[in-house]
Structure 1
Amino acid sequence: MSKKNDLKLLRTRYLRGPNIWTYRPVMEVWLDLGELEDFPSNLLPGFNQRLTALLPALVEHHCGVGERGGFIQRLEEGTWAGHILEHIVIELLNLAGMATGFGQTRSTSQRGIYRMVFRARDEQVGRVALQQGHALLMAAINDEPFDVKAAVEAVRTQIDDCYLGPSTAAIVGAATDRGIPHIRLNEGNLVQLGYGAAQRRIWTAETDKTSAIAEGIAGNKDLTKTLLKACGVPVPEGEVVDSPEAAWDTAQDIGLPVVVKPLDGNHGRGVSLELSERADVEAAFKIAETEGSDVIVESFIPGDEHRLLVVGGKVVAAARGESLCIVGNGRDSIVQLINDQLNSDPRRGDAEEFPLETIILDREPAMRLLLERQGLSAESVPSDGQRVLVQRNGNVAIDCTDDVHPDVAHAASLAARVVGLDIAGIDMVVTDVSKPLLPQRGAVVEVNAGPGLLMHLKPAEGLPRPVGKAIADHLFHEDETGRVPIVGVAGSHGTTQIARLVAWLLHLSGKHVGLGCREGLFLGSRRIEGGDRANFEAGQRLLMNREVDAVVLENGAASILNDGLAYDRCSVGVVTDLHGAEAPVAPALAEHDIHEPAQMFKVLRTQVDVVLSDGVAVLNASDERVLEMAELCDGEVILYDIDHQSPALVAHRAKGGRTVSVDGHHVLLTHNGQVPVRCADLNSAAARRMTAGIADQPVPGSSVRCLLAAAGVAWALGISPELISAGLETFAPSTQK
C-alpha cells in the first residue's frame, strides 16, 4: 500500500464552559482527511492489527455500539480517520492517568472535513494528547514505528505540569460532588470555589479563612512552641542557636539526647534525631542550617512521629510514621539496597501523586549523618543479614485515624486554635496514639499551615480519608451551594435589552449586579467597560468578583460556539429565538458550519441545558422551535407571548405552568388557575419610551416580548409584581456611563 498523506488539523479550539457537545470543557478539532476520506479503516490493509497492537486497551472502548469491543467492531466494519483519532487521543489520556470517556466526531457540510471533540480537563494536556495521537495514527496507517511509552510519558509530564496538585484536586473534587462550581485562578493551585459573593478561595490546603498572622506564627517553630506551652500544650524543651558550639552547649543544658532541626523547614528535611555526641550535634547543625534561616535544638521525645489533620477545630485524619531499615546481603552497597528494598515500593515516586518519596541520599544529608553515626556511608556494603537504619522517623503515611485517643485529638485541636489556623497539620511524637498524651511524655513538635493531604488521601497502609470533603464542608455549610443567581439570555432579538432590564430589576431588588452584554460590562448601574462584553471572558470576570451577588450575561450563539458558557449552571436561562444564522450577515456562525435557523437549535439549547433543577427556563412561546426546548429543562419553565390565549400558553397553564402575556394593555403574570396578576401598563409613558428605545427589533411585537421575557425572569427570581411594575416604569433604555 502506498504511503498516505497526513490528515490536516485545520484548527483547534478549547471550549472552556458548557457547549454544544457537553456540560464539561472539551477540545474541538477541525480535521481535513484529504485522501483518507476514501480510505476507512477496513480499506487500509493491516491497519487495524497495527493500531490494536500499539494500543491493546482500545478493546475496552464501547463506542456507539455500547459494549466492550464496540470500537474494534467499528474498525472492522470500516470507520474514518477522524473517529479513530478521537479514540486514540482518549486512550493516551487514559494511559497517562487522566481518565477520559467522552468523545464525538461529526462530518460537516464539506466533504472530508470533520469536527472531532474529546473531553479535556486542561487545554495544554489536551493539545499534547492530540499531537501525540495524531502522530500515532499516521504511524499506524503508514506502517511506521511509534513509541507509545514515550507518547504517554509526554502526556503525563504535561499533566504533572498543568494539573492541580492532589491536595487541591481532592478539595475541588469534593466541592464538585456537592454541586459547588470552581474557577482556577492561576496556573498553580489557587482555586475559587463558588461564584461572586458566595465564593471561597483555596490554595492547596490553605483557605481564605487562614490567617496570615497564624501562618507566620506556624512558620516560626520557636514562637509556636512558646504559645503552645503557655496554653498548656506539651512541647519539647528547646532553644534557637546560631553556631555548632552553641548547639552543643544547649544540648547539654536541656539534656541529651536531642533533636537538631531548621526553625522554618518542612517535609522533615534537615532533621536529625536522638543525638548524644558532640560531633553529631555539630554536624547536624550544619545540615539544618542549609535548610532554613535558623536552627533549633530540642529535647528528644521518644516515640513515633504522627501527623494529625485538624479542620475547623476537629481532627479529621491521622497518619503515623515509621523507621526505615534495609538488610545487607554482603554484596550490594547501601545505595543499591535502598533502591532494591525501598525505592522499588510502587508507593514511592517523585511525582505528587505518590504517598512516599523516592529516597536519594545525595539530597538527604540527615540520612547520610545517620549512616555515619552507624559507621557507614552510601558506598558501604553491609554484611549479610545486617540491619541498617536509614531513616529514624518520618515516612508518615500509615493511617491511624480510628486509633486516636480523645486526649490526643484535644491537644491537636487546641494547638491549631492557639496558633489560629482553621486547617493545620499537627506533628506530634507519641509512643501510642491510642493512649493519653501526658502519661507517655508525648508532645507537639510542629504546627503546619497548608498541610499536604496526600498521606491521608493515599496512605501507604490503611484506609484513605475523605479530607477533601472535610475541607469543603468546613468552607460551605450544608445548605450553601457557593452560587449566586445567574441569568443567561440567549438568542438574537432584543437579548441586550432583556439582559439590561433584568439587571435593573435585580438592582432594584437590592442585589449588587454584574452585567455582561453587547453594550458593555456593568457593575450595578455603572458601565465600567464599553464594547461587546457578551462573551466568556467577561462572564468569568464577573463570576470572580467578590462584590457581585447576582450576574446577568447575554450569550450569543458565536460566543457559545467559540468558548462555551462562562458558568456551569444558571438560575434562569432565557431563549428568545433561533435567528442569527441567515447569510450573509453571520460569518462568525458560518465558520462553525452554522448556516440556517434549524442548526441554531443545538447551539442555543445549551442555555436551557444548564438551568439548575431548582431554576427556571424562560422561553418565547411564539417560536415553535424554542418551545420544543421546554422538555430539555431540568427545572421549571415559564412561557411568554403577547397573546394571553395562545394555544401554547393555555396548554402550559393547564399543566400547572406559569406564563407571561398581554391582555389589553397590561402585562399579566398567570399561574395555573389563579387570578392573573397585572404588573405593567403598556400604555404608560415610561413603557412607551422603553419599547421605543428598543429599536433593533426586526420582528413585529419584539419590543413588547422583551418586556415579557424580563418580567418572566424577575418573576422566576421571586421579585414581586409591584417591583417588576416599578422597574419597567423606571428603566432607561439608553446606556449611561
Structure 2
Amino acid sequence: MSKKEDIKLLRINYLRGPNMWTYRPVLEVWLDLGELEDFPSNKLDGFTARLTTALPALIEHHCGVGERGGFLQRLEEGTWMGHVLEHVVIELLNLSGMPTGFGQTRSTSQHGVYRMVFRARDEQVARQALAEGHALLMATINSEAFDVPAAVTRVRDKLDDCYLGPSTAAIVAAATDRRIPHIRLNDGNLVQLGHGARQRRIWTAETDNTSAIAEGIARDKDLTKSLLKSVGVPVPEGSVAKNAEHAWDCAEDIGLPVVVKPSDGNHGRGVTLDLRKKEDVIAAFKVADAHGSEVLVESYIPGLEHRLLVVGGQVVAAARGEEARVVGDGKSTVQQLVDTQINTDPRRGTTEEFPLNRLTLAEDEVILLDLERQGLAIDAVPEADRRVLIQRNGNVSNDCTADIHPEVAHAVSLAARVIGLDIAGVDLVTTDISKPLSETGGAIVEVNAGPGLLMHLKPAAGAPQPVGQAIIDHLFADDDNGRIPVVGVAGSRGTHTVSRLVAWLLHLNGRHVGLACRVGLFLGTRRVESRDSANWDAAHRLLMNRGVDATVIENSAASILKDGLAYDRCQVGVVTDMDGSLSGLPGLAHYDVQDEAQLYKVMRTQIDVVLSEGVAVLHAAVPALVEMAELSDGEVVLYALDGTLPAIHEHRAKGGRAVFLQGGAAVLAQGQSETSGANVESLLKRFAAAGSGAAAEVDAAIVLAAVAAAWAMNISPELISAGMDTFVPDAAPAVAAA
C-alpha cells in the first residue's frame, strides 16, 4: 500500500463556553482528509487491527451504536478518518488522566472536509492531545511505528503544566456538582466561583476569607505555638536557637530527645526528629537553618504524625503517617533496597496524582542524617534482616477520619480558630488519635494555611474524604449557587437595543447592571467602552466584576460560533429572529452555516442554557423560534405584534405568558388575564426624534422583546411602563452586526 498523505488540520478553534455542539468547552478542528476521503477504515488493509493494538481500550468506546464495542463495529463496517481521529484523541486524553467522553465529527459542504470536536477542559492539553492523536493515526494508517506511552506522557506532562492542581480541581468539581459556575483567573490555581457580586475566590485551599495576618502567624511556628499554648492547646515545649551550639544548650534545657526544625518552613522540609546526641543536634541545626529564617528546638513527642483538615471550624478529614523502613539482604545497598522495597509501590510517584512521593535519598538531607545516625550511607550494604529506618512520618496519607476522638477534634478546631484560619491543615503527633491528647501525651506541632488536599482525596489507605464538597459548603449556603441574573440576547436585528432597554429596566429595579452589547460596555448607565462589546471577552469581564449583580449580554450567531457563550447558564434567554441572519451576517459562511436549519443549531444555544428556574423569551411570529420553546428547561414567554397568532393563543390557553401590541401599547398577558403596559409608540417616536442611526433597526417587535425579557425578570408592569417612558435614546450611529 502506498503511503497516504497527512490529514490536513485546516483550522483549530477553542470554543470556551456553551456552543452548538454541547454545553461545555470543546476544541473544534476542521480537517481535510485529502485522498483518505476515499479510504474509510474498512478499505485500509489491517488498519483496525493495528489501531486496536496501539489503543486496546478503544473497545470501551460506545460511539453511535450505544454500547461497548460500538466504535470497533463502526471501524469494521467502515468509517472515515475524521471520526477515527476523534476517538483516538479522546482515548489519549483518557489515558493521560483527563477523562473525556464527548466528541462529534460532521461533514461540511466542502468535499473531504470535516468538523471534529471533542471535550476540552484545557485548550493547551487538548491541542497537545490533538497533535499526538494526529501523528498516531497517520503512523497507523501507514503501518509505521509509534510510541504510544511516550505520547501519553507528553499529554500528561502538558496536563500537569497547564491544568488545575488536584486540590483546586476537587473544589471546582464540587462547585460544579452544586451548579456553581467557575472562572479560572490565571494560569495557576486562582479560581473564581460564582459570578459578579456573588462570587467567591479560591487559590488552591485558600479562600477570600483566609486572613493574611493568620497566614503570617501560621508561618511563624514559634508564635503559633505560643498562641496555642495560651488557650490550653497542648504543644511541645521549645525555643529559638541562635546557632548550632545554642541549639544543643536548648536541647539540654528542654530535655532529650528533641526535634530541630525551621521556624517558617513547610511540607516538613528540614525537620529532624528524635535527636539524642549533641553531634546530631548540631547537624540537624544546619539542615533546618537552610530551610527557614530561624531554627526551633522542641521536645520530641512520641507517636505518629497526623494531618487534620479544618474547614469553617469543623474537622472534616484526617490522615495518619507511618515510618518508611527497608530490610537488608546483605547484598543490596540502601539505595537499591529503597528502590525495590519502597519506590516500587504503585502509589508512589513524582507528580501530584500519586498519594505517596518517590524517595530520592540523595536529595533529602533529613533522610541522610537519619541514615548517618544509624551508621549508614546510601551506598552502604546493611546486613541481612536488619531493619533500616528511611523516613519518619513521611507518608501522611492513611485516612483515619472515622477514628478521631471528639476531644482531639475540639483541640484541632480551636487551634485553627486561634490562628484565624478558615481552612487549615493541623499537624499533631499522637500514638492513638482515637484517645484524648491528655491520655496519649500528644500535641499539636504545626498549623498550616493553604493545606494540600491530595492525602484526603487519594489516601494511600482508607476511604477518600469529600473535602472539596466541605470547602464549597463552607463558602456557599445550601440555597446559594453563586449566580447573578444573566440575560442573554441573541438574534440579528436590534438586539443591542433590546439589551440596552433591558439593562435600563434592571437598573431602575435597583440592580447594579453590567451590559455588553454592540454599542459598548456599560456599568450601570456609564459607558466604559464604546467599541463593539458583543463578544466573549467583554461579557466575561462583566461576570468577573464584583460590583455587578446582574448582566445583560448580547450574542450574535458569529460570536457563538467563534467562542461559544460567555456563561454556562442564564436566567433569561432571548432570541429575536432567524430571518435575515444569513444574508446580514456574511461571516457565517466562514463557519459553513448556509441555511436556516444550520443557523437553528447555533441560535438554539441561547435557549439550551436557560436555567430550570429561568425563562426563554421567543418571537412567536417566527415558526422556528416557536419550535425552539420545547428546548427551554424553564418557562417560556412568547411575544409578537399580533396577539391573535395561533402560537400565542395556544400558549395562553396553557396558562403561559405572552406580550403583544394593542393600541400602541404593550399588553402583558398570562392565561386569560391581561395588563396594559409600556407605551411602545411613544418610545419609537423618541428614537426617531433623537436622529439615532439605530432608529432604522428599532421597531415595535424589538421593544416588545425587551418588555418580555424584563417581565421574565419579574420586573413589575408598572416599572416596565415607567422605564420605557424614561429611556433616552442616544444619537450614536448604528453599529453593524459583527
TM range (shorter): over 0.9
Which whole-Å CA distance do the structure 2 matches of 1:514 and 1:86 have between them? Answer: 39
Contact persistence 1:52–1:58 (CA under 8 A):
yes
Q: For structure 2, list consecutive stretches of 5 or more residues without a partner in the other structure.
A: 734-738
1:492 aligns with 2:492: yes
Contact persistence 1:494–1:697 (CA under 8 A):
no
The amino acid of 1:305's aligned partner reads E
Which whole-Å CA distance do the structure 2 matches of 1:388 and 1:342 have between them? Answer: 12
1:138 aligns with 2:138: yes
Give the CA deviation at 1:394: 3.0
Give the CA deviation at 1:289: 1.1
Alignment of 1:388-537 (within 5 A): 388-537=388-537
Of 592-601 and 224-233, the range deviating more from structure 2: 592-601
1:633 aligns with 2:632: yes
Give the CA deviation at 1:391: 1.4
The amino acid of 2:51's aligned partner reads L
Which whole-Å CA distance do the structure 1 matches of 2:300 and 2:582 have between them? Answer: 80
Question: SS where residue 643 of structure 1 aligns?
Answer: coil
Question: SS where residue 407 of structure 1 aligns?
Answer: helix
Cα deviation 1:309-340 (Å, max 9, x = unaligned): 10000000011111111111111111111111
Give the CA deviation at 1:689: 0.8
Which whole-Å CA distance do the structure 2 matches of 1:144 and 1:440 have between them? Answer: 65
Which whole-Å CA distance do the structure 2 matches of 1:53 and 1:301 have between them? Answer: 55
The residue number in structure 1 matching 2:676 is 678
Which whole-Å CA distance do the structure 2 matches of 1:445 and 1:626 have between them? Answer: 65
Cα deviation 1:43-65 (Å, max 9, x = unaligned): 11121221111111111111111
Alignment of 1:83-102 (within 5 A): 83-102=83-102
Which whole-Å CA distance do the structure 1 matches of 2:392 and 2:81 have between them? Answer: 57
Question: SS where residue 668 of structure 1 aligns?
Answer: strand
Alignment of 1:178-257 (within 5 A): 178-257=178-257
Give the CA deviation at 1:506: 0.5
Q: For structure 1, list consecutive stretches of 5 or more residues without a partner in the other structure.
A: none
Give the CA deviation at 1:704: 0.8
Question: SS where residue 702 of structure 2 aligns?
Answer: helix
The amino acid of 2:454's aligned partner reads L
The residue number in structure 2 matching 1:289 is 289
The residue number in structure 1 matching 2:319 is 319
Which whole-Å CA distance do the structure 2 matches of 1:433 and 1:143 have between them? Answer: 60
Give the CA deviation at 1:293: 1.7
1:733 aligns with 2:729: yes
Give the CA deviation at 1:598: 3.3
The residue number in structure 1 matching 2:599 is 600
Contact persistence 1:687–1:728 (CA under 8 A):
no
Cα deviation 1:675-710 (Å, max 9, x = unaligned): x111212344x45214766755778xx611111111
Which whole-Å CA distance do the structure 2 matches of 1:79 and 1:580 have between them? Answer: 37
Which whole-Å CA distance do the structure 1 matches of 2:198 and 2:501 have between them? Answer: 24
The amino acid of 2:638's aligned partner reads L
Which whole-Å CA distance do the structure 1 matches of 2:470 and 2:62 have between them? Answer: 36
The residue number in structure 2 matching 1:704 is 700
Question: SS where residue 349 of structure 2 aligns?
Answer: coil
Alignment of 1:326-341 (within 5 A): 326-341=326-341
Which whole-Å CA distance do the structure 2 matches of 1:441 and 1:141 have between them? Answer: 68
CA distance 1:683–1:515, shift in 2 (3 Å): closer
Cα deviation 1:525-555 (Å, max 9, x = unaligned): 0011111110111111100001100011000
Give the CA deviation at 1:735: 6.5
Contact persistence 1:6–1:138 (CA under 8 A):
yes
Question: SS where residue 326 of structure 1 aligns?
Answer: strand
Give the CA deviation at 1:579: 3.3
Cα deviation 1:355-405 (Å, max 9, x = unaligned): 111111112111111111111111111111110111122311111111111
Question: SS where residue 627 of structure 2 aligns?
Answer: helix
The amino acid of 1:368's aligned partner reads L
Of 300-309 and 594-603, the range deviating more from structure 2: 594-603
Cα deviation 1:588-626 (Å, max 9, x = unaligned): 211000123332101000000000000000000010111
Question: SS where residue 678 of structure 1 aligns?
Answer: strand
Contact persistence 2:519–2:532 (CA under 8 A):
yes
Which whole-Å CA distance do the structure 2 matches of 1:641 and 1:633 have between them? Answer: 19
Question: SS where residue 672 of structure 2 aligns?
Answer: coil
Number of residues of Structure 1 aligned to a counterpart in Structure 2: 732
Which whole-Å CA distance do the structure 2 matches of 1:234 and 1:361 have between them? Answer: 33
Give the CA deviation at 1:524: 0.5
Which whole-Å CA distance do the structure 1 matches of 2:670 and 2:339 have between them? Answer: 74
CA distance 1:535–1:38, shift in 2 (3 Å): same
Give the CA deviation at 1:724: 0.5
Contact persistence 2:262–2:293 (CA under 8 A):
yes
**TM-score when scaled to structure 1?**
0.98
The residue number in structure 1 matching 2:619 is 620
Question: SS where residue 591 of structure 1 aligns?
Answer: helix
1:570 aligns with 2:567: no
The amino acid of 1:681's aligned partner reads N
Which whole-Å CA distance do the structure 1 matches of 2:357 and 2:580 have between them? Answer: 57
Which whole-Å CA distance do the structure 2 matches of 1:128 and 1:589 have between them? Answer: 28
Give the CA deviation at 1:127: 0.5
Question: SS where residue 551 of structure 1 aligns?
Answer: strand
Give the CA deviation at 1:304: 1.1
Q: What percent of counterpart residues are identical?
A: 67
Question: SS where residue 410 of structure 1 aligns?
Answer: helix
Contact persistence 1:526–1:736 (CA under 8 A):
no
Which whole-Å CA distance do the structure 2 matches of 1:493 and 1:35 have between them? Answer: 43
Contact persistence 2:18–2:568 (CA under 8 A):
yes
Give the CA deviation at 1:69: 1.4
The amino acid of 1:621's aligned partner reads A
The residue number in structure 2 matching 1:113 is 113
Which whole-Å CA distance do the structure 2 matches of 1:466 and 1:546 have between them? Answer: 29
Give the CA deviation at 1:630: 0.1
Contact persistence 2:681–2:700 (CA under 8 A):
no
Give the CA deviation at 1:438: 1.7
Contact persistence 2:693–2:732 (CA under 8 A):
no
CA distance 1:365–1:300, shift in 2 (3 Å): same
1:16 aligns with 2:16: yes
Question: SS where residue 117 of structure 1 aligns?
Answer: strand
Contact persistence 2:41–2:75 (CA under 8 A):
yes
The residue number in structure 2 matching 1:715 is 711
Alignment of 1:338-377 (within 5 A): 338-377=338-377
The amino acid of 1:533's aligned partner reads S
RMSD: 1.4
Which whole-Å CA distance do the structure 1 matches of 2:259 and 2:518 have between them? Answer: 65
Which whole-Å CA distance do the structure 1 matches of 2:611 and 2:104 have between them? Answer: 25
**TM-score when scaled to structure 2?**
0.97
The amino acid of 2:144's aligned partner reads E
Contact persistence 2:265–2:291 (CA under 8 A):
yes
The residue number in structure 2 matching 1:649 is 648
The residue number in structure 1 matching 2:590 is 591
Which whole-Å CA distance do the structure 2 matches of 1:582 and 1:117 have between them? Answer: 23
Of 432-441 and 89-98, the range deviating more from structure 2: 432-441
The amino acid of 2:677's aligned partner reads C
The amino acid of 2:700's aligned partner reads V
Which whole-Å CA distance do the structure 1 matches of 2:81 and 2:232 have between them? Answer: 70
Which whole-Å CA distance do the structure 2 matches of 1:665 and 1:471 have between them? Answer: 54
Contact persistence 2:310–2:425 (CA under 8 A):
yes
Which whole-Å CA distance do the structure 2 matches of 1:557 and 1:691 have between them? Answer: 28
The residue number in structure 1 matching 2:736 is none
Contact persistence 1:657–1:672 (CA under 8 A):
yes
Give the CA deviation at 1:97: 1.2
